[in-house]
Amino acid sequence: MQLASQLSVHRNALSLHCCLTRKHSQLLVPSPAVLQQPLAVPDRLLLGPGPSNVPPRILAAGGRQLIGHLHKEMFQIMDEIKLGIQYAFQTQNPLTLAISGPGHCAMEAALLNAVEAGEVVLMGVNGMWGERATDISKRLGADVRQLVKPPGEYFALQEVEQALDQHKPSLFFITHGESSSGVLQPLDGLGELCHRYECLLLVDSVASLGGAPIFMDHQDIDILYSGSQKVLNAPPGCSPISFSERARKKIFNRKMMPPSFSLDMGWLANYWGCDDKPRAYHHTAPINGFFSLREGLAILAEQGLENSWKHHKENSVYLCEGLQQLGLQLFVKEQEARLPTITTFVLPEGYDLQEVIAFIMNKHAIEISGGLGPSAGKILRIGLMGYNSTKFNVDRVLHALKDALQHCHKNKL
Amino acid sequence: MQLASQLSVHRNALSLHCCLTRKHSQLLVPSPAVLQQPLAVPDRLLLGPGPSNVPPRILAAGGRQLIGHLHKEMFQIMDEIKLGIQYAFQTQNPLTLAISGPGHCAMEAALLNAVEAGEVVLMGVNGMWGERATDISKRLGADVRQLVKPPGEYFALQEVEQALDQHKPSLFFITHGESSSGVLQPLDGLGELCHRYECLLLVDSVASLGGAPIFMDHQDIDILYSGSQKVLNAPPGCSPISFSERARKKIFNRKMMPPSFSLDMGWLANYWGCDDKPRAYHHTAPINGFFSLREGLAILAEQGLENSWKHHKENSVYLCEGLQQLGLQLFVKEQEARLPTITTFVLPEGYDLQEVIAFIMNKHAIEISGGLGPSAGKILRIGLMGYNSTKFNVDRVLHALKDALQHCHKNKL
């Protein structure tokens, strides 16, 4: 711009500023009275499908003063998170990090980086998560095929093989811990099978990680993600994810840029020190979310994966026995297929699900949950995850359920 | 599935489970030793462009025990956040909420909901944020045009009008507080102008909200977003956003679904109670991120917007005077165009930017920052935001800078 017009622009801007002050001297929207009240957060035992209660050590970490998202101490904490995820996932993949968002963002990050428009993908749908992965993949313009089973069932190897053979997908999605139905999906053999069909295996372990065995490298899983707010007992908002060398190659040889900047794995890999370039600014990370996730992973590492799997299994079996003693019917018939972190069951005739849930919340300050997606209105769900997976909590929730069964029958009057 | 084949599948699964236990009885990846060390977070005064230090009241809110993301008390807190955003934005838009992600996610949410592939969009680029909005829009398949000015300058109305007339975009992006250059963009008249050209006005106020006057409704802004970690002093991870009726209509009359499920405004509007349907599960929100954001908004409401604008302005002027007294040159020439939250300046000959930044960090535990994007390597940036915008902090950073100027000159030996 020439000087004369520059001056005119500046005069224009100055008058704009004056005008702004004059024109808007009164606030249109007054300060809301309700914000003068203190923040009200009731105490609850969270035995739904997540979030779980957060132990004091993790709350304290999340309550620490911030440092910058590009400080070297932050990179050190992120390196520690990466090691913690590699341990929890049982993987040596260098491309391992935490997404700055809830589990759905990790699902979206996996799909939008690994899949391009027009590619055939196959979704294992036996509950909510296969439906969500289908929704996301459609938005990406993928050619989405489904392998469907009723909620409460899992997929057998030969069923998957038949579908791979029929659809020839480039990616197969399956859920390890189907939190909407309480099913634990066996994973052995799936990776090898997918690779025989030149297909990547993508596994959702949001609800199962730390609560049931998973071995990313041994089981040939190509992309694995989880959440922070289940067994890891951190607040929601950060989601561990890891990519095998096979997945990494596919992602970094895309034809088109991924349709999201925030979830672009090239940028994220750099920020997390997973490439050979100096770390650069990508986004402002959820800094104390990372503090909390680091502590959640540290607690899991201290306890040991095998111990964590064992105590989740034991407390889940203890809960199942208690539910059966109350005359309640477990939704997943086969014991080995029951997810140790989330137990699902059916109420007898004469009860309204929502009434039972509300009774337990209002009288006992305990959250239990109804179904979700295909299981909505059919089942109840009790989560026992990490810090919350204790015999004491099982006793508390069984006591509350017994009370509800006595008070909520429709013939109670 | 028929019973016989079901049984066979179940036997198969049981054998898979046994096999899993047998095959992977040893952990491949051991528990990382570094996670046995305590979390290490140094104390710092964060006077970069954000995040800012978090005041005790907000840290305490973020450290509270969780409730569920669908509990009625959570909906109440979200309603309070909505009121707080409406106040901070000076808007009565019903479609007002917080994105569960950092500022970049809000930028992405704005663009991917409001723009469809093939549409012409115009980006005002005078620093980092116009470049990022360009990147995101290209990924969405938009036909992206740019109106470019050097960092340190702002856009005049007639320049914008000329570009609107030339490109006929459906959306114009501009940054209110250009944190990479320290420029405050005058906004008056832009909304009216855009609407004359049948174009939506999208404004980024991440770095300016609460620090400089903005009036979403009076200024006819169609989409406005901000961040939590600047003047609002909450941790990063939640981002206020609001849509005018004009923007809402465009978004809810798209031809194609938005390419992201996580940021789909239809789902988010429902979860935030902005439509007439019962609130449904969309994603697991960053629950204590919401607690913190609520407190950040409550502090702003308590203090009052005008007071907040005034004290940011005063402390920024005080800082500018101090910098000039040290013989330093301010990057933004015109006083009224200086962003009150982030002040930019140039070092004299004989200094290395990175050395000065490192000296101040290492000796004084104060973060100040270099440039970003087009201003990288050219300027230094000092942020005074919310809780951190005090005369005491200005004195601290000026003292540290004076010390650095004495010790870091290349002829110092």
Q: Which candidate, A78, A196, A108, places its Cα nearest to that of B262?
A: A108
Residues 255-274 of A with CB under 8 A from B: 257-262
pLDDT tens-digit series, residues B47-61: 999 999 999 999 999
CB spacing of A27 vs B139 below 8 angstroms: no
pLDDT of the residue at B166:
98
Q: What is the length of chain A? A: 413
Q: What is the pLDDT of residue B16?
A: 42
Residue A28 and residue B84: Cβ atoms within 8 Å?
Answer: no
A14 touches chain B (CB under 8 A): yes
User: Is the Cβ pair B73, A40 closer than 8 Å?
Assistant: yes
CB pairs under 8 A between A and B: 349
A82 alpha carbon, distance to own chain's centre = 17
Residue in chain B closest to A237 (alpha carbons) equals B286
* Cross-chain residue pair A218–B28, CB shorter than 8 Å: yes
Does A101 contact B100 at a Cβ distance shorter than 8 Å?
yes
Helix axes B287-303, B72-89, angle to 10 degrees: 40
Task: Select from A28, A76, A236 the Cβ nearest to the Cβ of B215.
Answer: A28
B317-to-B306, B312, B384 alpha-carbon distances in Å: 16, 9, 11
Could you give the ipTM of this predicted complex?
Answer: 0.93
Suggest the residue from A25, A34, A39 to mutate for an interface test with chain B (most B CBs closer than 10 A).
A39
Name chain B contacts of A259, Cβ cutoff 8 Å. Answer: 139-140, 259-260
Of A65, A83, A258, the CB nearest to B35: A83
Residue B313, judged by CB atoms within 10 A of its CB (0-12, 13-18, 19+), counts as: middle
Q: Which two tokens stand for residue B320?
A: 């500018």
For β-strands A143-148 and A120-125, DSSP reports them as: parallel
Q: Residue A251's closest CA among A365, A76, A113?
A: A113
CA distance B46 to A69: 11
B103 touching chain A per CB within 8 A: yes
Closest A-chain CA to B12:
A156
User: Can you give the pTM of this predicted structure?
Assistant: 0.94
- Is residue A187 within 8 A of residue A222, CB to CB? The reply is no
Q: Is B381 annotated as a binding residue?
A: yes
- Spacing of C-alpha B146 from chain mean position: 21
Cα–Cα distance measured from residue A213 to residue B27, given in angstroms and rounded to the nearest whole number: 10
Which chain A residues touch B102 with a CB distance below 8 Å? 100, 262, 283-286
Using alpha carbons only, what angle is made at residue A137 by residues A136 and A141, rounded to the nearest 5 degrees? 120
B87 touches chain A (CB under 8 A): yes
Amino acid B6: pLDDT: 43
Interface contact B90, partner A, CB < 8 A: yes
Nearest to A29 among B86, B257, B295 (CB): B86
Coil vs helix vs strand at A148 = strand
Q: Which residue's entry shows tokens 């308590």? A: B302
Nearest CA in chain B to A371: B281
Check CB contact of A138 with chain B, cutoff 8 Å.
Answer: yes
Rounded to 10 degrees, the C-alpha dihedral A43/A45/A51/A57 comes to: 70
Q: What is the pLDDT of residue B25?
A: 60
User: CB distance from B280 to chain A under 8 Å?
Assistant: no
Burial of A163 (0-12, 13-18, 19+ CB in 10 A): buried
In this complex, the residue of A237, A297, A367 whose CB is nearest that of residue B35 is A297
Q: Pick from B51, B53, B63: which is nearest to A284 by CB?
A: B51
C-alpha to C-alpha distance for A278 and B330, rounded to whole angstroms:
30
Among the partner-chain residues B68, B92, B298, the one whose CB lies closest to the CB of A367 is B68
Name, in order, each residue with C-beta under 8 angstroms of A403's C-beta and a sequence gap of 6 or more. A359, A360, A363, A364
Q: How far apart are CA B74 and CA B71, in angstroms?
A: 5
Q: Are strands A380-383 and B143-148 parallel, antiparallel or unpaired?
A: unpaired
What pLDDT sits at residue B264? 98
Q: Residue A366 has what pLDDT?
A: 98
Kind and range of the H or E element at A174? strand A171-175
* pLDDT, position B12: 43
- List per-residue pLDDT tens for chain A, 413 residues long: 343 444 444 444 444 444 444 455 688 899 999 999 999 999 999 999 999 999 999 999 999 999 999 999 999 999 999 999 999 999 999 999 999 999 999 999 999 999 999 999 999 999 999 999 999 999 999 999 999 999 999 999 999 999 999 999 999 999 999 999 999 999 999 999 999 999 999 999 999 999 999 999 999 999 999 999 999 999 999 999 999 999 999 999 999 999 999 999 999 999 999 999 999 999 999 999 999 999 999 999 999 999 999 999 999 999 999 999 999 999 999 999 999 999 999 999 999 999 999 999 999 999 999 999 888 889 999 999 999 999 999 999 999 999 999 999 987 64
What pLDDT does A41 receive?
A: 96
A17 chain-B contacts, CB cut-off 8 A:
186, 336
Give the rounded distance of the alpha carbon of A296 from its chain centre. 14
Predicted pLDDT of residue B1: 37
How far is CA B358 from its chain centroid?
25
Residues 55-84 of B with CB under 8 A from A: 59-69, 71, 73, 76-77, 79-80, 83-84
How many C-beta neighbours within 10 Å does residue A370 have? Answer: 17
Burial of A209 (0-12, 13-18, 19+ CB in 10 A): buried
- Cβ distance B13 to A154 less than 8 Å, yes or no, reads yes
Let me know how many helices (H) and strands (E) chain A has, helices first. 13, 15
Helix A157-167 / helix B3-23 crossing angle, nearest 10 deg: 100
The pLDDT of residue B412 is 61
Please report the residues numbered 230 through 259 in chain A whose beta carbons come closer than 8 angstroms to any beta carbon of chain B: 235-237, 257-259
Q: Which pLDDT score is estimated for A26?
A: 80
Per residue in B263-321, pLDDT (tens digit) is: 999 999 999 999 999 999 999 999 999 999 999 999 999 999 999 999 999 999 999 99
Which residues on A lie below 8 Å from B298 (Cβ)? 35-36, 39
How deeply is B4 buried, as exposed, middle or buried, from its count of CB atoms within 10 A (0-12, 13-18, 19+)? exposed
Cβ–Cβ gap B35/A258 under 8 Å: no
Q: Which element (helix H / strand E) includes B133? A: helix B128-139
The segments of chain B whose pLDDT lies below 50 read: 1-22, 413
Q: What is the model's pLDDT at position A24?
A: 56
